[in-house]
Amino acid sequence: MYNKKIFKDNLLRWFDAEQREMPWRETKNPYYIWLSEIMLQQTQVATVIDYYLRFIKRFPTIESLNDAKEDEVLKLWEGLGYYSRARNFHTAIKDVYQNHNSKVPNDPDQFGKLKGVGPYTQAAVMSIAFNKPLATVDGNVFRVWSRLNNDDRDTKLQSTRKAFEQELQPYVEARSGDFNQAMMELGAMVCTPKSPLCLFCPVQDNCEAFEKGTVSELPVKTTKVSKKTVKQHVYIVKNKQGEYLIEQRTAKLLNNMWEFPMYEATSQFNVNSELGMNIPFLTKPSYKLKHQFTHLQWDIEVFMAEATVDKQQVNLPERMHWMKFEDKEQYNFPVSMSKIYKFLKGH
């Protein structure tokens, strides 16, 4: 086994010199660090930066976010996806405001009980903000640690995560936040999934996979479950005043966000059955798109009404609304609906 101290020293020396500039690395405010970790889940750094800066400008303190309405929080999150992250974070901040005197708990057990805080977020925030000796294990760390140790354990298993956390524990007794960030940075910048830059790796001398020529075979992950595909029909209804019909979602996925009325293609429901009237639509879709979720894909076809309708003759259900086209920014639209909106804008 390689010398632990030399390995850690080499890694931290590289990180101190080569780490990327990120706004959340310029602060020790645990609220900001926590926000960044939530935003970075399933999302690339380049995408997150602008969202992060807008969010802390609008909600610079825990108190300001506590006072915010969910709609406004989701609006600032629009386009980042995985909206349950925003809802859980908002709920957790209210908990911090009410039960922790508006201070992010520095006790890992207390912090871990907050809504949406799993083992990774707990370790990341506690180590980076408070230097607590907790090891983070994300996709980057799985890859780096598997290769360093030529370890072929299945990284999809919870038992492997637990084992990695224990094996990394000696390295986080000091400078824990820096070590965790260095491991993640190495995975993001050097020890990449494909075509890793082994010749530039600061800990190449410690890498058993490099020595044995097995880098491309690691980490080992079980095959991903294939995504379910659901065909969706979207109906574009416009009234004589130029307003568009929109509907607030009640499903758990993207709950409470707004959309142009959408129903599964195999469903007996459509916009006419919901409105109790007969609006003729073009028989061929005017626009098609696909939208990916983690375990689901929507294949969406957009159908345009053949003519405008008289809104005085339409009795809208409570969750439906007429939207002026220029007022779109007042509503929380998921990415797929924003794409449809852009299509409509160009036609």
Active site amino acids: 37
Give SS3 for 133. Answer: coil
Give SS3 for 143. Answer: helix
Q: For the beta carbon of residue 334, count every other beta carbon within 10 angstroms.
A: 20
Measure the N-to-C terminal CA separation of the chain; round to a whole number of Å.
65
State the DSSP string of 253-322.
TTTT-EES-EEETTSS--HHHHHTS---B-SS-SEEEEEE-SSEEEEEEEEEBSS-B-GGG----TTEEE
Q: For the beta carbon of residue 37, count every other beta carbon within 10 angstroms.
A: 22
- The pair phi, psi for residue 32, each rounded to 5°, is -70, -40
Nearest to 174 by CA among 1, 37, 8, 6: 8
Nearest to 90 by CA among 121, 111, 118, 59: 59
Percent composition of the chain: helix, strand, coil (DSSP 3-state, to 5): 50, 15, 40
In which element (H, E) is residue 243 found? strand 243-248
CA distance 151 to 214: 10
Phi-psi region of 219 (alpha: psi -120 to 50; beta: other; left: phi over 0): beta
Q: Which residues are registered as beta bridge partners of 332?
A: none
Cβ distance 96 to 120 under 8 Å? no
